[in-house]
Amino acid sequence: MSAPAIRVSDEVQEAVRQGRPVVALESTIFTHGLPRPRNLEVALEAEESLRAQGVVPATIGVFAGRPTVGLSTEEITKLSEEDDVAKVSLRDLPVVSTLGLHGGTTVAATAFLAHRAGIKVFSTGGLGGVHHGAAQTFDESADMTTLAQTPVLVVSAGVKSILDVAATLERFETLNIPVLGFGTTKYPGFYVSDSGHEIAYSVSTPEEAAAVLTSRDALELPQAVLIANPVAEDKQLPPAELDAILARAWEQAEQAGISGNDTTPFLLDFIQRDTGGRSLEVNIAVYRGNVALGGRIAAALTR
């Protein structure tokens, strides 16, 4: 008998079977999104903070070719320190599996693996979306089309303004993906609490978010539910600064000839350097908030 295509840790399997709260976490955030050594600290802190909430963390990635739900601390450490780690979206999963590579899974690949393991709630930092100029380049994240057919709940702080936020929200509408603000109808812009775009609905408690999920399942709809959780205003990047930073980031990406799945990591890295690390602190604050809210929603779902 060959090994199963997806490895699920004993702890996660048990928790899912017993209906205890579990939150999935992605790995691209620490393999490609955050610089060393903070990447590892943030990844481990996210797991610890969920455990402190009584929630089982399931960090998801590809270790030596094995798509894994519930990476061990050693595996997370290795993935965050290795140079040769692929950025793995859904289409890459069968390839890296076959080649035996390490991989950090994007929102798309993580959502898929979480769902296959029976996990309903997934916390991340920012979602992929429509890149500026996508009308010419066709650069749209597969996060969107994957979330259109993957029934999980994803907590994020919206999409970063490195993306075309308006176009991304239009795509969510086309793809039938509901977007709910947590305590707000202003769609957050990751580094800033308000992207300047309104969304139609908000929920104000974890119970309400969990109820939307239950309702989706009752209707047998296949789409993810997106919970958009803004960073606190006193922790955001000064909105007035952001536009200038973004203009420089896009210019640099163009000059360097960056394209394809290198674009997001390049822009994030540029912004981190350009702000002298201040965007990194915001990034981490945003992620902490999303992990905590995911934990509360997962707990509400089991009540």
Active site (annotated) includes residue 120: no
Q: Which two tokens stand for residue 255?
A: 């000059």
Q: Which of 61, 125, 189, 289 binds ligand PSU (CB under 6 A)?
A: 125
Residue 184 contacts which entry, ligand PSU, Mn ion, none (Cβ below 5-8 A, type-dependent): none
Gap between the Cα atoms of 126 and 248, Å rounded: 20
Beta carbon of residue 114, minimum distance to Mn ion (angstroms, whole number): 21
Q: Which two tokens stand for residue 152?
A: 């999980």
164 touches ligand PSU by CB under 6 A:
no
75 touches Mn ion by CB under 5 A:
no
Q: 157 or 299: whose CB is closer to ligand PSU? A: 157
Beta carbon of residue 215, minimum distance to ligand PSU (angstroms, whole number): 26
Burial of 264 (0-12, 13-18, 19+ CB in 10 A): buried
Gap between the Cα atoms of 45 and 56, Å rounded: 13
* Stretch near ligand PSU under the rule CB under 6 A, chosen from 1-9, 138-146, 177-185, 245-253: 138-146
**Which residues in 124-134 are b (16+ Cβ under 10 Å) and which e?**
bbbbbbbbbeb
107 touches ligand PSU by CB under 6 A:
yes
47 touches Mn ion by CB under 5 A:
no
Would you say 107 is a known binding-site residue? yes
**According to CB under 5 A, which residues from 103 to 142 bind Mn ion?**
139
Amino acid at 6: I
Active site (annotated) includes residue 26: yes
Question: DSSP of 261-275, one letter per residue?
Answer: GGHHHHHHHHHHHHT
Cα 31 to its chain centre, rounded Å, is 13
Q: Token match 């929102």: residue?
A: 107
272 touches ligand PSU by CB under 6 A:
no
Question: Helix, strand, coil shares of the chain as percentages rounded to 5?
Answer: 50, 20, 30
Q: Which of 47, 75, 160, 186 is labelled catalytic? A: 160
Beta carbon of residue 23, minimum distance to ligand PSU (angstroms, whole number): 16
106 touches ligand PSU by CB under 6 A:
yes
What residues form the annotated binding site? 87, 107, 139, 141-143
Residues annotated as part of the active site = 26, 160
What residues form the annotated binding site for Mn(2+)? 139
